[in-house]
Amino acid sequence: MLDSTATDHVSGFLSDFGDALSSGDIDRATAMFQDDCYWRDLVTFTWNIKTVEGRAEVADMLRHQLAATKPSNWQIAEGETASEDGGVTTAWISFETEVARGYGLIRLKDGKIWTLLTSMVELKGHEEPLGYDRPLGAKHGADKHRPSWLEEREAEARELGYTSQPYVLIIGGGQGGIALGARLRQLGVPTIIVEKNARPGDSWRNRYKSLCLHDPVWYDHLPYLPFPPNWPVFAPKDKIGDWLEMYTKIMELNYWTKTTCKHASYDEATQEWTVVVDRDGAEVTLKPKQLVLATGMSAKANMPSYPGMERFKGDQHHSSKHPGPDAYKGKRAVVIGSNNSAHDICAALWENDVDVTMVQRSSTHIVRSDTLMEIGLGGLYSEQAVQGGMTTNKADMIFASLPYRILHEFQIPLYNQMRERDAEFYAGLEKAGFWLDWGDDGSGLFMKYLRRGSGYYIDVGASQLIIDGKIKLAHGNVKEITEDAVVLEDGTVLPADVIVYATGYGSMNGWAADLIGKDVADKVGKCWGLGSATTKDPGPWVGEQRNMWKPTKQEGLWFHGGNLHQSRHYSQFLSLQLKARMEGIATTVYGIPDTHLLS
């Protein structure tokens, strides 16, 4: 189909769809969807992050939300044309609701909606001051005793949290808290970010010294301020730490360092939190309306409890506390675990003349970095994609437009390509005895990440050390720790001077239990995962990341986390939900799932 013909077809379809919605004809609107259809909404209709699947769920959502949403002005987005490929017609679209402007992506199959993505871009009357609407900065004219920009910032820093209260308190000042703080700043939402470390970026600086990002630069931009064109593809941790610190200053965030949250409670009557923090030795009580836990997916360490740990005479620690290899030269190290951190730590130890053994307790998915960049990410997040006209926002939206229910179907062929391309590499790993997997259904890394947030390694060199026998390999679960060794259940004894527990992290709602109470943590339930009934992601199916970036069962409590890509992308939708509540805009939420899993 010619682009002009496809564009005309989609334009007419959108006009009819808009008419059906405007007239409240839910049956007519629903009939415009295929039987096997997917509508993913990022806040505009549901005030939630929600995917409805099939006509019956589309109709149910519209029955609950259409009257209040009042959508209108459906059209192909300005400057865009529709395209047709393989029987699927695709188009970028724009639309409005009574309170917001939206943007999305539609795919039509046989003249009906197969997938529809709708996302909120901005709230009417509360637009970000960008582009033509950017602040003037200078204060032209003359007024006596007027404060400078610096004096205004200093006054805000003195007063917010003391003589005035933040509307939002973000606990956790890593990339998630910083990205959300930047969005809220632009929306005029009074916000404080509290961070236990001494400087922004220390959550990266304090990790093992060999750590670099495994995701490429094009995937990792923060809101408003992308990395410069000479930024390395895979940034070292300290460079990322410096960027986050600089970003925090430039974006004028109210960022409290050396601050820990002692406890928090919610008053249902006043709909207000009371949060007691220790700010560099001084106790401060904050009264935010909204509390965001941005403590990170990799902050609640799973520290195992093996018999005999207390008698070990060497050094033992979780991978999150690993100082690097320098102190262990000439010693024997045992690293328990076989995912990203375990591989990175083992490689760095070997490079520094440490005798290192990796203990693999279960199979691990491995994909080579260059192969992943080319096959898995190249079409959306690469220099080639940028040169071809792909923007970060469009890449994010394309990825977001693929419903999680069928995303694995798109991923399986890509990982089959990777397996074929690197067949010799995988044969070498298997010959070395490494237990490999490709996910329960062969869908590879991204689905493992979305389902469980673990179980994989992006290879940047450690795998070859395993193939060559330079990193030794042992298998099985730990039976006990002795004074100088790790003993496995099969009787294998691994002499050790240092043990690193690369045993992963727990659900983010563990922080809610620590800070607020187990009752609230259980009320909210597990964070992360889709309910796919695959390994470490038990059902039932929920279709979105549990509790992330959206309303939870606890009023006023939100979770924000994930990698740099998710921190950037989903901070937009979380910030708009918070802004709407501050402004008193009606936010009738549709589709908060029941709590089935506690952790």
Whether residue 245 is found in the same domain as residue 332: no
Q: Are residues 2 and 97 in the same domain?
A: yes
Based on the fold, state whether residues 226 and 333 are members of the same structural domain. no
Nearest CA among 549, 554, 532, 551 for reference residue 592: 551
| Any domain includes 17 | yes
Q: Which residues of the chain have pLDDT under 50?
A: 1
Q: State the helix-helix crossing angle for 564-582 and 175-186, rounded to 10 degrees.
A: 40
Q: Tell me how far the alpha carbon of residue 17 is from its chain's centroid.
A: 33
CA-to-CA separations, 28 to 8, 107, 207, 418, in angstroms, rounded: 21, 18, 56, 44
Among candidate residues 474, 501, 528, the one where a domain is terminated = 501
Same structural domain, 412 and 489: yes
pLDDT of residue 140: 81
CA torsion 290-295-301-302 (nearest 10°) is 40
- Which residues, at least 6 apart from 568, have a Cβ–Cβ distance to it below 8 Å? 179, 220, 221, 222, 223, 392, 396
N-to-C CA span, the chain:
50
Query: Do residues 258 and 201 share a domain?
Result: yes
Q: What is the dihedral of CA 556, 557, 563, 566, to 10 degrees?
A: -30
- pLDDT score of 138: 79
- Which residue, chain included where needed, has tokens 């992050």? 49
Is residue 439 located within the same domain as residue 422? yes
Residue 110's nearest CA partner among 54, 33, 55, 28 is 33
Nearest to 236 by CA among 327, 344, 322, 353: 344
pLDDT of residue 268: 95
Q: Identify whether the C-beta of residue 74 lies closer than 8 Å to the C-beta of residue 106.
A: no
Domain that holds residue 69: 1-123
> What length does the chain have?
599
Pair (263, 372) in one structural domain:
no
Same domain flag for 442 and 556 = no
Number of domains in the chain: 3
Q: Within this chain, do residues 293 and 342 fall inside the same structural domain, yes or no?
A: no
Per the DSSP assignment, residues forming a β-bridge with 96 are 72, 101
State pTM to two decimals: 0.95
Query: Do the domain assignments include residue 359?
Result: yes
Assigned domain for 397 exists: yes
pLDDT of residue 298: 62
Q: Please, is 86 exposed, middle or buried when counting C-beta atoms within 10 Å of its C-beta (0-12, 13-18, 19+)?
A: exposed
Asked if residue 228 is part of any domain, the answer here is yes
| CATH number assigned to the domain comprising residue 549 | 3.50.50.60
**Strand stretches in 510-590, DSSP E:** 557-559
Find out whether 106 and 115 touch, Cβ atoms under 8 Å. yes
**Do 393 and 479 belong together in one domain?**
yes
Q: Is 595 a domain residue?
A: no
Are 184 and 236 members of one domain?
yes
Which CATH number goes with the domain that contains 85?
3.10.450.50
473 and 579 both lie in a single domain: no
Assigned domain for 588 exists: no
Is residue 315 assigned to a domain?
A: yes
Instruction: Give the alpha-carbon dihedral of 111, 117, 120, 124, to 10 degrees.
Output: 0
Looking at the domain assignment, is residue 568 inside a domain?
yes
